[in-house]
Structure 1
Amino acid sequence: MTRFPMRFPAGLLKHPLAWPAATLVALLAIDVIHRADFLSVTLLGGHLFGAPVDILTRAAPLVVVSLGMTLVIATRGIDISVGAVVAIAGAAAATVLADDPSRVGTAFGAALAVGLLAGAWNGLLVAFVGMQPIIATLILMVAGRGIAQLLTGGQIIPIGAPGYLAAGGGFFALVPCAVWIAIAVTTVTALIVNRTALGLFIRSIGVNPVAARLAGLSSRAVIFGAYAFCGVTAAIAGILISSNVRSADGNNAGLLLELDAILAVTLGGTSLAGGRFSLAGTVLGALIIQTLTYTTYSIGVPPEATLVVKAIVVLLVTLIQSPAARATAARHLRRAAALRRARRVPLKSPTP
């Protein structure tokens, strides 16, 4: 019987989404090994329940924030204030609902408005004032927590409006509403960058902002729009988080979410140098982070060691995705293989 060796197409491994997808599959495999029914989904009370559904629901806010972060990073920028904007948006919505629980539409509008205002503030400082992105967004990162606590009076404001709670904790067509919202934001973002010239403009600014300006492109307007969009996505995430936990916490809501968003973007293959970005990769990166968090808890990793394990996995995935790291590893493997072959070849004795 003739055996044919199984080989993966060379182009498949070079695809930018290959390694993020492989990482996600590996994490899911670990969960399945630890618990055989991990991927099972059950229908209970007209809703889908199970570990995959839970991961998708909890990853939804991170997916939404990371999409906005992707466009900002693609313009050679960074936004470390998204966690604070999440807190401000939730606080603004809770403040409106505290006065009148029936004003759900106003609460949504208030949250989105403060997100847009926060993103426009960052865009103004970066695009028109000329501040470094990390400094400009650091200002709002620090002040935003204070603004959120001023809105909440330093207290955790409970939210009981059913219409608002449906955004993060409700279901539609068997699937959690948070997942539908994340899909909708992903679709809209993809249409904006792929079906309009904006995607080309963002890539041009990220690759060479000087050449883009000389070509007549209004780089300031594009950068301003990217930061404004990032603020809106952070506000949507704030709505999802506050409605899911049924409260607004100005101090802890969205805490360190900006770091997870940056990790999700980089894990998905977006270059921090700007220009090259992948929305699909960002979604995969967010799912990797949430699945990794779920996996560490499910296999019994102590809570105090969770962040260490998370950092190690992210480091390994980043190294695997690095072309320089892969080239170095391949060079060492070829050298080791050559040494093994040399040891197997016997030395020939000289002929008399």
Structure 2
Amino acid sequence: MRRLLAAFGLLAGLVGPAAAVDYAGFVEAGLTGFIRPATQAFADTAADLAPAVRSVCAAPSETTRRTFAEVNSATIRALGRIGFLRFGPLAESHRLERLAFLPDPRGIGQRQIRKLVADRDPSALDTAQLAAKSVAVQGLTALQIVAFDDAGAVVLGGDGEEAAFLCGYAAAITDNVGRIGAEVASGWADPAGYSRTLLEPAPDAPVLRSPKDAAEQIFNALVTGLIVVKDQDLLPALGKGVDSARANRIPFSRSGDGVAYLTAEIEGLHDAWLAAGYERDLDAEGAWIPASLAFEFANALKALAGVPAPVRRSMADPATYDRLAYLVLVLNSLRDMMALNLAGSLGMTGGFNALDGD
């Protein structure tokens, strides 16, 4: 990271920003063109989860199980699109961690969930009490363990005491997810909420003191999002080679949604970048950047499109492994192009944080 930061400083000094960069315009465009509609889309989709759980538990059938799996997948994809927004309403009250406890390399969530189920803990069946528990047992990553088996099949709707408990627990989880989704969407929609912090920075504000500060917060979240996909979602799963790969480390792969989640993450970053309209204020020296970014985003999505789902089965194929390894290279290119070239051309600093490595 130190080498990249040094390179960034040199590049920023050589290139410099275009004249009169409209940082406030980037912020408003990002809010109206991506953040608000994407968080509302997540809230709308998440609201469908609890009814789907109750349907499969009340009348288990191939149809109700398929419907639940589809709604679950749609909710995972909607979360993937906004997961990089690690500030504002999604960051407040640990909402992101409560929705998805990631990464979890030591299996903390699975251990805690197994204990809740083994103890038939009644507090896990109450949404309010569940929301006060560990972040590892109350969100979409917990639902993976409760509602799906190792082969990705829906297990809700069985017979017996444990099956009844799992249904009650899944209902509480999905009620909680729906509530959090609504809080995130309303937090961004509220003109007096965090949107005001971004749109009305002030010299005496604790964090964002200028339109440039506000623009950098959104921009740096994009770069961090690329880092998360690479360093947290992909590299631990790839290991040192196909023989040591651990596809189960890819988020949401238990339900067969690993590829869909990765795709949604990259699509969300792409769409947020486009919505902000950074290309408007690039000078002639930076005019090449948007087309190059678009090319690399397309390469990333093409690589994922060639990965058969479920990835827990397909990753043993060297061809699939190679596609995911190639994706890492593309993500590195995207990160550098955004954090070095685009940031330098627009006179923005940062773009790297503690999540990034050397």
User: Which TM-score band applies after superposition, normalised by the shorter structure?
Assistant: 0.3 to 0.5
TM-score by length of 1: 0.33
TM-score by length of 2: 0.32
